[in-house]
Every structure is written in C-alpha cells, then in structure tokens.
Amino acid sequence: MSTADAPSWTRRAVGVLVGAAVAMVLVGCGADGASPPGALEVDRITVAAASDLRPAFEELGQAFEAATGTSVTFSFGSSGQLREQIVNGAPFHLFAAANVSFVDEVIASGRGVATTKADYALGRIVLWAPSGVALPKSIEELTDARYRRIAIANPDHAPYGLAAEQALKSAGVHDRIRSRLVYGENISDTFRIVQSNNAEIGIVALSLAIADGSQYTLVPAELHEPLEQALVVTSRGEHGNAAAAFARFLGSPAGREVMVRYGFVLPGEALPTS
C-alpha cells in the first residue's frame, strides 16, 4: 500500500458515501411517505394483536382483504408489550388485546377511542405437550416429577400467563411447582418453548393448540378470571373507519366461524363446559 492507490481509495469512499446518502433519503421517504397527515390510502391497516390470535387473525386478515380490498398487517406480541408501544405512539390502527384491562389502559392514556371498545371473544387455556409426552388429565397432575419444566407466559404482561398462574393457584399446585416454571415472552413464545422440547409441558392458549392440530387438556374456565378479550380503535384518526370495519368483520358470520374454529367463545355464547 502506497500513496499511489490513495486516490482510488478516496474515490471508493466517496462512492460509498454517495450510495449511503441515497439510501438515507430512501429511508427518509419511507418514514414520511407512510404517515402523511390526513392522506387516506386505505389499502392497508396495521393491527396490534395479542399473540394468541396469530393463527385466527392471519386467516381473518386474508378473508378481510378478499372481501374489502384492504390488507391487514399484524404485529403480534403480549398485550402488555403492545399496550406499551401504543401508549408510546406506535402507528397501529386497531388494538386487539387478550384482556380488556389493557384496552382500558390504552383508552385512559388517550390513545384509544373509548366508543369503539368492544369484547370480541373469551379465551381458554389448555395444558399442552408435544407428541411423545404424556398429557396430564388435569392441572393437579402437573406436580408429577416427569414435568421438569412447565412453561407459562409471563404473568406480568401476558394475560394468558396471568390466567395460567391463577389456575395453578386455584388448583393449589402453584407453590409446589413454582420452581419448575419457565416463562415465555408471550403466549406463542411459550408455545414454542414447549414445542421445541425445552419444557415438557406448557399452559397455552387453546387457539394455538388447535392451530397445531395436536392433543390438549382444557383447563376449567372457573379456575381463572375470564380472559375477556377486547379491542379498541386507536385515536390516530387515519384509517379509523377501516379499523372499525375489521373489528365488525370479527363479529360477522364469516369472522365468527373462524374464531369459533380456533376455540374462542364469542360474545353472547355460553361457555362450553370442559
């Protein structure tokens, strides 16, 4: 390396800088182009949804697009994480939580339109294990030493985790198995922990077990507070009508059919006895 190739090095550096500057402008446009104030392009709405909804909502999103031409992008996470993002200004048009309390908090923060709040389903929890592991017939059987790690979602910010914890306490086994609990970030994370055999068994959402097509044991609904799943249109203004339309679609016959198939109990329906 001598001074002879210094100019070519300089040219290359300039080339990289120019290229990156162009990229910067592109990113800038992407950032601005997606949220011009007042501009209405309802070809897409963004929905923050609790992760127990993933299989059902992905199907519903496609059906909604087929019916209306508006595509739906989902961001799945625990209800607590999503609430945090919305309160901090995340650009979601609709928030479908796994528990109504998170919807209330979003409304209280001024980021949700109170009049659009609606219950859309009751969630159920199940004991679930991958094939090859003996499935317990009741939650009490979790004390069996063969279940060395028991996965539940983090009860601090995931409603399904809280319901699992309540069920364990109601059944009187929580203290005995506490040291064997492992926590998922949200309910689909919990499902993956069990599915990958990193825990022998988990307490997960019925919808995820159904989507997987495998065996499960329903946990009696009276062992935990009802998982009252509610939604709210966010107060961003833009796309509010399209977001409300998707919320109505959940309650339409086509929407109800999908939700029921994934094990959700719909408003106005009786809780089936386990």
Which residues line the annotated binding site for molybdate? 79, 187
**C-alpha–C-alpha distance, residues 200 and 145, integer Å:** 11
Residue choice 45, 64, 70, 76 for contact with another protein (CB under 8 A)? 76
Q: Contact between 46 and another protein (CB under 8 A)?
A: yes
Stretch that binds another protein, among 82-90, 146-154, 226-234, 257-265 (CB under 8 A): 82-90
Helices (H), 113-171: 159-170
Which residues carry a binding-site annotation?
79, 187
Q: Which residue has the tokens 């909804």?
A: 53
Q: Are 79 and 159 in contact (CB under 8 A)?
A: yes
Q: How far is the CB of 136 from another protein (least distance, A)?
A: 23
Q: Which residue, 132 or 213, is less far from another protein as judged by CB?
A: 213
Nearest-angstrom CA–CA distance, 164 and 219: 9
Exactly one of 32, 132, 179, 270 binds another protein (CB under 8 A); that residue is 32
Instruction: State which of positions 191-250 bind another protein (CB under 8 A).
Output: 191-192, 195, 212
Contact between 57 and another protein by CB under 8 A: the answer reads no
What is the spatial order of strands in the sheet that 71-77 belongs to? 71-77, 44-50, 94-96, 227-233, 118-123
Rounded to an integer, what is the distance from CA 228 to the centroid of its chain? Answer: 14
Q: Are strands 125-128 and 201-205 parallel, antiparallel or unpaired?
A: antiparallel
Beta-strand (E) ranges in 51-149? 71-77, 94-96, 118-123, 125-128
Binds another protein by CB under 8 A, chosen from 63, 65, 68, 75: 75
Q: In the bound complex, what is the minimum distance in angstroms from residue 41's beta carbon to another protein?
A: 14
Neighbours of 25 (CB within 10 A): 10
Which CB atom, from 191 or from 262, has the smaller least distance to another protein?
A: 191
Residues that bind another protein (CB under 8 A): 1-2, 6, 9, 17, 19-21, 23-24, 26-28, 30-32, 34-37, 44, 46, 51, 54, 73-77, 85, 88-92, 186, 188-189, 191-192, 195, 212
